[in-house]
Amino acid sequence: MKDFLPVCIDDMKKRGWDQVDFTFVIGDAYVDHPSFGPAIISRVLEAAGYRVGIISQPDWKDPESINVFGEPRLGFLICAGNMDSMVNHYSVSKKRRAKDFFTPGGVMGKRPDHATVVYGNLIRRTYRKKPVVIGGIEASLRRMAHYDYWDDCLKRSVLLDSQADILSYGMGERSIVEIADALNSGIPVNEITFVKGTVYKTDSLDGLYDHIVLPDYDSLCADKLNYARSFYTQYCNTDAFSGKCLVEPYPDNTYVVQNPMSLPLSTEEMDRIYALPFMRTYHPSYEKQGGVDAIKEVRFSIISSRGCFGGCNFCALTFHQGRIIQARSHESILEEAKQIIKEPDFKGYIHDVGGPTANFRKPACKKQLTRGVCTNRQCLFPKPCPNLEVDHTDYLELLRKLRALPGVKKVFIRSGIRFDYVMADPDDTFFREMCEHHVSGQLKVAPEHISDAVLKALGKPENSVYQAFCKKYAAINKKLGKPQYLVPYLMSSHPGSTIKEAIELAEYLRDNHLSPEQVQDFYPTPSTISTCMYYTGVDPRTMKPVFVEHNPHGKAMQRALIQYKNPKNYELVHEALVSEHRTDLIGFDKKCLIRPRNKQDTAAKKMPGKNEKKLTEGEKKYGISFDKYDRMLKEQNSGKGKNRKKHSGH
């Protein structure tokens, strides 16, 4: 029968079960939609013949909260949720967020910090011998020793701290069924050491071959450079075809062993997974609490692919989904679209068709599906690889089929496109049709920065590539007669970015008349090259030093420069410009970022040459003294003053 999986003992009995095979403890509300990892894993297990009961957001202070179904026959599964619990709870400034979009009513505090660890220990208080399997994004990216930004320290593998038996990393559809089958056949959990895409702990390396022993945990803690070397070894072994087994030693003769990643799913396997009987919404018990906001972004969206060969250094996709693209068939996607069209509140708009990168629909080159990805080079960075096959034909054909469906008014692309991949395509057909049919006035792209030095640290293409994209985008839209714009995602304080580069970015925004409403400070999340840079101060690929801004005030100045027009940022922008001896950007000239605030600024501007001339012209143009302007600025910032609109200053 098509229904939600059991969430209580009564649901279990309605199905005629006397016991569940697996109790699945999750940190999110229970949303049975294919955009939610726990929903996919539970439905895959159900399709394999296993009985799964869901315990969503248990009270971690009460051991009885995990006894909803009694003792499961085979074991417990744990997933912290669709997001890392710490990212879910805290902003990059480590301030507690006000709302949890994955909890009914948006209530914050329904899951613990470091949820995987807390749930694992909660289960162990009652079930000391029962198999416990952890997975999901939080466990996946913390599978080996990792830097924890929130506690500012190097932590052990989450497998050890959670007291779990097995960790399923990456996209776990294959590994979870193999684990379930092994347990069901009577194999003790400590002997399930052969499943790809898993991590296990052991006290003996007998039987292992062709493996790499990483530096032990104590040496990682003692020397950050050891951690950088270890991390890069892990990074070079994330591929399902070429990756080797990795061993991380711990005290007391304990080893954490990471098996190679699971093989990519075929198109047929992807289709079967997305055809499972998902209810496509949150559990009805949440309706009284206001529902679950996280469903809004994905309810009318379609996942068409997995994986990303973009290779951005701040992204953990290499560690989680891998670099090999896996895609669903057109038939599978069209069938899901038809289900969406039938929903009563569908208004004719499919919000997104994509994946980590929307316009990636096939592996970067033919050899990836037989020999895996290259360990020592990227597909797009710093330049597109000569072997890269750039082709938008399949994606374009899919979009055409979707927008031709009865009841569909518009199909948007919101999951983001890789603009350098678009520019590498000699055929502009996709670019033109994207602008004509799949943009809703604004296209969001992610150049992240404009300084080539910072872009190199980010693993992004040179700024010239983005500029060429902007020029072509404007030309195509002009020809189409569409007043459409680009909304660039920008990042401040990434390793490699100093105040100098932040000012360079501010000048670019000034020259291009851009005023970003949102800016993302670099967030050091586990298992990215950028986070390794942040913690160690070196690029793990070259072991060369990288500047890292650790000071919160320095970070605030970089962020403020990107939003220099905001009056609230005046003091920070002023301080940054003075610190870099860029007082030429304080004045009345159109090239200036901010206006002078006092006589000290006036004195700083009294220099021979063009700056003095600009100052004089500025005073003549505005017809006010610096003292008068200073008073006017104070009135403006306090919301007063009759000249507020006329002299907005920006």
Looking at the fold, whether 49 and 164 belong to one and the same domain comes out as yes
What's the pLDDT at 440? 86
Strands (DSSP E) contained in 62-214 are 75-79, 132-135, 146-148, 153-155, 166-168, 198-202, 211-213
Looking at the fold, whether 18 and 158 belong to one and the same domain comes out as yes
Residue 572 domain-assigned (yes or no)? no
Looking at the fold, whether 311 and 166 belong to one and the same domain comes out as no
Q: Which of 634, 632, 491 is nearest to 558 (CA)?
A: 491
Residue 27 domain-assigned (yes or no)? yes
What's the pLDDT at 519? 86
3-class secondary-structure state, position 493: coil
Q: How confident is the model at residue 5 (pLDDT cuts 50, 70, 90)?
A: very high
H/E stretch holding 350 reads: strand 349-350
Strands (DSSP E) contained in 475-566 are 485-492, 520-521, 538-539, 544-545
595 pLDDT higher than 70:
yes
The string of pLDDT tens digits covering residues 140-158 is 999 999 999 999 999 999 9
What's the pLDDT at 389? 96
645 pLDDT higher than 50:
no
What percent of the chain shows pLDDT beyond 90? 88
Looking at the fold, whether 192 and 311 belong to one and the same domain comes out as no
Indicate the residue among 166, 186, 201 that finishes a domain. 201
What's the pLDDT at 642? 40
Average pLDDT on 490-494 reads 97
Query: 395-430 burial by CB neighbour count: b if 16+ within 10 A, else e?
Result: bbebbebbbeeeebeebbbbbbbbbbbbbbeeebeb
Structure tokens at 376: 């020592």
Looking at the fold, whether 196 and 317 belong to one and the same domain comes out as no
What's the pLDDT at 489? 92
Select the more confidently predicted residue: 483 or 617.
483
Q: Is 506 exposed, middle or buried (0-12, 13-18, 19+ CB in 10 A)?
A: buried
The residue count of the chain comes to 650
Residue 99 domain-assigned (yes or no)? yes
What's the pLDDT at 638? 52
Average pLDDT on 374-396 reads 94
What's the pLDDT at 517? 79
Query: Are the beta carbons of 13 and 69 closer than 8 angstroms?
Result: no
Mean pLDDT (the chain) is 92
Residue 449 domain-assigned (yes or no)? no
Residue 92 domain-assigned (yes or no)? yes
User: What is the 3-state secondary structure of 236-294?
Assistant: CCCCCCCCCEEEEEECCCEEEEECCCCCCCCHHHHHHHHCCCCCCEECHHHHHHCCCCH
- Give pTM, 2 decimals: 0.90
Looking at the fold, whether 195 and 319 belong to one and the same domain comes out as no
HSE-up (13 A, CA, CB side) for residue 554: 16
Residue 533 domain-assigned (yes or no)? no
What's the pLDDT at 616? 41
The string of pLDDT tens digits covering residues 27-59 is 999 999 999 999 999 999 999 999 999 999 999
Residue 458 domain-assigned (yes or no)? no
357 pLDDT higher than 90:
yes
Q: For residue 87, how many other CB atoms are within 10 A of its CB?
A: 17
What's the pLDDT at 608? 43
What's the pLDDT at 105? 97
What percent of the chain shows pLDDT beyond 70? 92
What's the pLDDT at 635? 56
Q: How confident is the model at residue 560 (pLDDT cuts 50, 70, 90)?
A: very high
Full residue range of the structural domain in which residue 56 is found: 9-201
Query: Are the beta carbons of 180 and 74 closer than 8 angstroms?
Result: yes
C-alpha 619/C-alpha 589 separation (Å) is: 9
Query: Are the beta carbons of 135 and 81 closer than 8 angstroms?
Result: no
Indicate the residue among 201, 220, 249 that finishes a domain. 201
Indicate the residue among 377, 412, 440 that finishes a domain. 440
Looking at the fold, whether 166 and 19 belong to one and the same domain comes out as yes
Looking at the fold, whether 56 and 167 belong to one and the same domain comes out as yes
What's the pLDDT at 518? 79
The total domain count for the chain is 2
What's the pLDDT at 507? 97
What CATH number does the domain containing 333 carry? 3.30.750.210
C-alpha 359/C-alpha 352 separation (Å) is: 12
What's the pLDDT at 176? 98
The string of pLDDT tens digits covering residues 196-227 is 999 999 999 998 989 999 999 999 999 999 99
Looking at the fold, whether 57 and 186 belong to one and the same domain comes out as yes
Structure tokens at 218: 């104590």
The string of pLDDT tens digits covering residues 278-306 is 999 999 999 999 999 999 989 999 999 99
The string of pLDDT tens digits covering residues 238-277 is 999 999 999 999 999 999 999 999 999 999 999 999 999 9
Structure tokens at 25: 């403890």
What CATH number does the domain containing 161 carry? 3.40.50.280
The string of pLDDT tens digits covering residues 447-483 is 999 999 999 999 999 999 999 999 999 999 999 999 9
Residue 46 domain-assigned (yes or no)? yes
